[in-house]
Structure 1
Amino acid sequence: MPEALQILQKYWKHNKFRSLQNEIINSVLDGEDTFALMPTGGGKSICFQVPAMMQEGICLVISPLVALMKDQVANLQKRGIKAIALTGGIKSDEMIDLLDNCQFGNYKFLYLSPERLQSDWILERIKNLPINLITIDEAHCVSQWGHDFRPAYLKISGLKKHFPKIPFLALTATATPKVKESIINDLGLHNPKVFEKSFARENIAYMVFEVEDKLFRIEQILKKNPQPSIIYVRNRKSCLDISSQLQSLGFKATYYHGGLTSKEKDKNMQSWMNEEAQVIVATNAFGMGIDKANVKTVIHIQLPENLENYYQEAGRAGRNGEKAYAALLTSPSDILQTENQFINILPDKKFLNQMYIKLCNYFQIAYGEGINEQFTFNLHHFCLKYEFPTLKTYNAMQFLDRQGIINLSQEFSEKITLQFLIPSKEVIRYMSLNPNDEEIILAILRTYPGIYEMQTAFNLQLIVKKSNHTASEIQAVLNKLKEKDIIEYHSKNNDATLIFNEIREDERTINRIAKYLENQNELKKEQLKSVLYYINEKKVCKSKLILNYFGEKTDVDCGICSYCITKKNKKRDVTSLSKEIFALLQTEDLNSRDIQNRTKDSPDDVIFVLQHLLENNIILVKPNNKYTLKS
């Protein structure tokens, strides 16, 4: 049998294991059920991929994330290792072929979602496979107290009776002590070996800054640290806005969000990975499988939803072991915005029930029908039709997706196909009678010479460039040609594909999962409280706060976070700085940056004193963010 290190060197080109990897591999090879808590960047996948390669048979990997499954399968295939993922949208015939490949094609890894195990015929096929290891990735999803609970994970323990001698390996990057205990119990792990890597990242300085002008502070941070950086934002619009603002300030910046095409995502990510761009501005869609060692700063400009996500995203900094920064920028309005964003848009049982019934009606699904039916779906159109709030509806649909009631896969694409239905001489005649349309039609015909023979994929932006006309002008001509039966023209612009996994049962469906909704809503509120405590607690080391949240007790301050730095630096005397600011405001109104430049004090000291003056009704903030003396 090949040694673990030989396998690591052969396929992954590493000469040594990271902390705990070898111990976890040995535990699995000894046939022991194993629980491994390895914070982000710890190399969890090696812990099951290496032992699976050392043994005969196939490793079953249960994962909740389609993108992560595809990413890992692609990485394994690149290394010449045979791997398959059974993701959503695969037809039954194709699924049978894939499972045949697993049984007879010497495959080493089979990835699937926990929902797939609920199909009896798939389970029967898996029972006949030569399984050598069962890996449960993102194992916190099995716990009602985990930040992404999925009830389908509770069924995984049923595999124990079919594979009593096969070890289970449960992996997670973020779990509080309560979640850890829940994972072990809910998966039915038998006397598991437990491995826990410390959550401490001694090279990361966790910084919390209360600022008025976030862009100005970002500019300061990026100028001070010109190495690769990630800026996390909450939505797609912010991605574009912050990226373009940074470009106007002279930074090389790109962006990444779920609405981009695969080609755009790859292009933008490679631009950042190759350091053609210093900064990538991203939503939380960015990060899975990203392992860039020299990220110097990770900046969050809006409050995260929970500390689990924050820790994972912040942990993408400093993986080379050098000092790095995780900065969280806050302003007084953030708390209200975050509550509106995360708490006020949580769907309750009544809304969930109403939305589910309307969703079934929208697709004309009769009671007792609908299983495995697939539809294209436009969320905004659906919300407009039934006057539902968009974000609350999206959250309700995500909840139904996590419960396995539906599959909601994002597409965000526009596909246009085109074919001319009349002979070329008739098209020429039409152009002579409609000279205003001639430039556009000629550009199409020159670009797509086979457009008379078949439906042809049509690139609108290409014709915009070639014809010197706007997209709306081109679309107007296409609509006119379609109305006159000159062309066949199809435009598909949907933001999702929706699959119904169960028959429609209205209240019965919702009643079955309502308790999970209530638990999740309560959990989200508690998690947000922990985030607010993290940013508002001014007398405790930030690293210590994170460690305590994940159940690690320490009495030692990190020495490099925003609290520790403030403690080291002698603070400016509040009274003298108050007098100086008061004197400045007697002559003119100023914003905090002007005051900082005039007093030459640190931004934190200036903000602290301004808050003190505001609380004592000595000054006011005007709508233009300038401070003025209270008359």
Structure 2
Amino acid sequence: MSEALQILRKYWKYDRFRIPQDAIIQSVLDGKDTFALLPTGGGKSICFQVPAMVLPGICLVISPLVALMKDQVQNLQKRDIKAIALTGGIPTDELIDLLDNCQFGNYKFLYVSPERLQSEWVVERIKSLPISLIAVDEAHCISQWGHDFRPAYLKVSDLKDFFPKVPFLALTASATLKVQEDICKELRLDQPAIFKSSFTRPNIAYMVFETEDKLYRVQQILTKNQESSIIYVRNRKACHDMASQLNSLGFTTAYYHGGLPSKDKEQQMQRWLNNAAQVMIATNAFGMGIDKPDVKTVIHTQLPDNLENYYQEAGRAGRNGAKAFAILLVAPSDIAASKSQFIEVLPDKDYLKTVYRKLNNYFQIAYGEGYNETFAFNLNRFCAQYQLPVLKTFNALQFLDRQGVLSLSANFSEKISIQFLLPSKEIIRYISLNKSHEDIMVSILRNYPGVYDMEVGINTHLIARKANTSEDKVHYVLNILQEKAIINYKSQANDSQLTFNEVREDDRVINLLAKFLEKQNQLKITQLDSVIAYISDKKQCKSQFLLHYFGETDIPECGICSVCMSKKQEYANPAALAEQITILLQNGGLTSREIENTLDISPDATIFVLQLLLEHNRITINKQNQYILK
């Protein structure tokens, strides 16, 4: 271990390893297959990067995310360590050159996605390399019981046949006991040494706050905690909306989502990393490989679809050890909305069969044909032709892709993009003078608020529906706006490619997949149920709840979460406050914020007493989210 410690000091400038990094590294150096469960911020990359520097040859790293691979390669290169990533979109000639460099250029790290290992010639080239360690990052992706299953990971274990004496190191930051067992089994780890760090983050206060006005509560939180923050939102539109709203309230913001061009992503990221922006507003596309130690607050404005993702995203707070907050804001309608968004769009067997059959008909594929045929494919047009719901259909196609029935290269909203080149007042003037374009332009502005700031991918089918017109008319108007230099408009005929990997046999193909579909759907239902239990439980410590979910028992209460604080909270006279609220509600229904402002009391006190009144059936909530007397 002395050589490993010297490497740590020389390249990473740390004096010692964290527990259990040293034991994991020693296990790898001893040539053992190893499984490591280290929570977010636990230093997983050190566990394979340091031993790889000790061992001769190359460390092969399997990683699922391009952004994560690029980030780690850049960090290694900054330390004068030679590393290469075989990311998507690299031409074959360039791939050959990169692999030549690995073979003859004294490289220490080769990063590949699991999908790259499905290319036989790439695997043949890798087999000729002096591989000394195989690290499988985000290893939970191999488990169909995991929250981010990637079928290509199932092929990773084939490397065991080619490198029988090379140790495997499987790493993950979030996995239940069932997923942990699945990882070891599917990777064929040979009597693995198993290391698990506790998921406990004693400096993070996990908070669940009920509120009808989330923006107002966000404003309160950011005003009170003015250090670096992250706000996770559901989608790209919400990302831009929240940024605009907070900017108008005087906060400095950056934003990040999957639709941003790489240059804009980097620019927004640097503003936040350099503290030029207090708040990063992002979808879940943001975060992998980001290690900003001074994040004080992570706020989720919508329910996550599982606790694994929530724990990872919340865990980006407080990495410097200082007290930090992970806050989940919940409105009365959120549970129903999440069930609608996550559960009701899951395809069952009959729907899967319908989509598969219509897909074959769409491309005029006869029974027994279609193998290895590739087609240009537009999801929105396909759904429009057969009157299918887009999200549910996408989930069906994604399932077929993950099961290998077809391969779908999807970039659904990024092939048609626009950006307004004139300021908003000029756009409004143009609309007033061109009434025939008004509905389409207003629909674009309402659905894509970032269109003034950058190039934004748009869904022309959605715009046509919102404007009550045809998709051809939308394209016609966009072309006119382009000619008048009002917008920058880019359009490509199709937005994805679809390849059939099996011949068409409707019943046989779908019947074989039915049990897997049922298992996947049940998993998603169970995961959302766990999220609902987390926000609904008013008695169990939130930190305790999360730790129990990941299999840790006999955990003391944290003392700082919203439940623990409510137990400690002593209001001067809750009975008197309850009476005040009851009298106030005699004049009609009010929201909690209206009650709070009228009586000049804190949000916590308001919610506490309202909860007491609800539990004693003295009040109820109407459809306008107002509290009324029973």
Same fold (TM over 0.5): yes
Deviation at 1:399, TM superposition (A): 2.8
5+ unaligned residues in a row in structure 1: which ranges?
Answer: 418-458, 464-470, 482-488
1-structure distance, mates of 2:60, 2:285: 26
Q: TM-score, normalised by structure 1?
A: 0.83
Cα 1:393–1:72 change in 2 (3 A) is farther
Cα 1:623–1:564 change in 2 (3 A) is: closer
> Is contact 1:145–1:178 with CA below 8 Å preserved after alignment?
yes
Deviations 1:414-440 (A, max 9, x none): 6899xxxxxxxxxxxxxxxxxxxxxxx
Relative to structure 1, the CA distance from residue 99 to residue 386 in structure 2 (aligned partners, 3 Å threshold; closer, same or farther) is: farther
Cα distance in structure 2, aligned partners of 1:518 and 1:588 = 48
Report the Cα distance in structure 2 between the residues aligned to 1:320 and 1:194, rounded to whole angstroms: 27
Distance 1:359 1:42 in 2: 45
2:58–2:130 CA contact under 8 A, matched in 1: yes
Contact 1:572 1:605 in 2 (8 A): no
Corresponding residue for residue 281 of structure 1: 281
Moved more, 308-317 or 350-359: 350-359
Post-superposition offset of 1:523: 0.7
* Counterpart for residue 45 of structure 2: 45
After TM superposition, give the deviation of residue 548 of structure 1 in Å: 0.5
Structure 1 residues 177-209: Cα deviation after superposition (integer angstroms, max 9, x where no partner)? 121122112211112111111100000000011
Deviation at 1:153, TM superposition (A): 2.5
Distance 1:67 1:351, change over 3 A: farther
Distance 1:84 1:107 in 2: 8
Q: Which residue of 1 aligns with 2:595?
A: 595
1:134-172 Cα offsets, whole Å, 9 max, x none, are 111111122222112233323322322321211010101
Identity value in percent: 61
Q: Structure 2 matches for 1:572-583, cutoff 5 A? A: 574-583=574-583
Q: Partner letter of residue 388 of structure 2?
A: F
Q: Structure 1 CA distance, aligned partners of 2:309 and 2:35?
A: 21
- The alpha-carbon deviation at position 629 of structure 1 amounts to 4.5
Give the superposition deviation at 1:462: 11
Contact 1:298 1:316 in 2 (8 A): yes
Question: What is the aligned partner in structure 2 of residue 14 from structure 1?
Answer: 14
1:254 alignment counterpart: 254
| 2:479 alignment partner in structure 1 | 475
**Secondary structure at 2:491's aligned position in 1?**
strand
Structure 1 residues 432-451: aligned runs within 5 Å: none
Tell me the TM-score normalised to structure 2 length: 0.83
Which residue number in structure 2 is paired with residue 492 of structure 1?
491
2:224 equivalent to 1:224: yes
Deviations 1:12-44 (Å, cap 9, x if unpaired)?
343433332222111111101110000111111
Q: Secondary structure at the match of 1:206?
A: strand
Q: Give the equivalent residue in structure 1 for 2:118.
A: 118
Residue 606 of structure 2 corresponds to residue 606 of structure 1: yes
Query: The residue matched to 2:586 in structure 1 has which SS?
Result: helix
State the AA in 1 paired with 2:33: D
Shift of 1:214: 1.1
- RMSD of the TM alignment (CA)? 3.3
Does the aligned pair in 2 maintain the 1:416–1:491 contact within 8 Å?
yes
Cα distance change on mapping 1:476 and 1:105 into 2, 3 Å: same
How far apart in 2 are the matches of 1:346 and 1:414? 26
Please give the per-residue CA displacement for 1:41-71, whole angstroms capped at 9, x wherever unaligned: 1111111112112222111112222332233
Which residue matches 2:517? Answer: 517
Distance 1:242 1:81, change over 3 A: same
What do the CA deviations read for 1:579-607 (whole angstroms, capped 9, x no partner)? 21122233565432232234344424423
Name the counterpart of 1:406. Answer: 407
Q: 1:472 to 1:134 in 2, by over 3 A?
A: same
Letter in 2 for 1:475: N
Whether the aligned pair in 1 keeps the contact of 2:299 and 2:327 (CA below 8 Å) is yes
Deviation of 1:273 (Å):
1.2
Give the equivalent residue in structure 1 for 2:352: 352
Change (3 A) 1:478 1:97: same
**How many Å separate the matches in 2 of 1:18 and 1:188?**
28
Q: Find the aligned partners of 1:364 and 1:83 in 2 and give their Cα distance.
A: 46
Q: Secondary structure of 1:332's match? A: coil
2:306, 2:530 within 8 Å by CA — same for their partners in 1?
yes
Q: Which deviates more from structure 2 when the two are superposed, residues 175-184 or residues 407-416?
A: 407-416
Alpha-carbon displacement from aligned partner over 1:434-480 (angstroms, at most 9, x marks no partner)? xxxxxxxxxxxxxxxxxxxxxxxxx99999xxxxxxx9988317669
One-letter code of the match for 1:69?
M
Q: What is the identity, as a one-letter code, of the residue corresponding to 2:353?
A: N
Partner letter of residue 498 of structure 1?
A: Q
Specify the code of the residue in structure 2 equivalent to 1:152.
A
Which amino acid is 2:25 matched to?
A: I
AA in 1 matched with 2:501: E
With over 3 angstroms needed to count, the CA separation of the structure-2 counterparts of 1:474 and 1:339, relative to structure 1, is closer
Q: Secondary structure at the match of 1:4?
A: helix
CA distance in 1, matches of 2:241, 2:48: 41
Report how many aligned residue pairs link the two structures: 575
Greater mean deviation of Cα atoms: 319-328 or 183-192: 183-192
| 1:61-104 deviation line (CA, Å, top 9, x unaligned) | 12222332233233333433333333344454444443333323
SS in 1 for 2:517: helix
List alignment gaps of at least 5 residues for structure 2: 419-450, 456-474
Contact preservation (8 Å) 1:157, 1:188: yes
Residues 151 and 230 of structure 1: CA distance in aligned 2, closer, same or farther (over 3 Å): same
Q: Which amino acid aligns with 1:525?
A: I
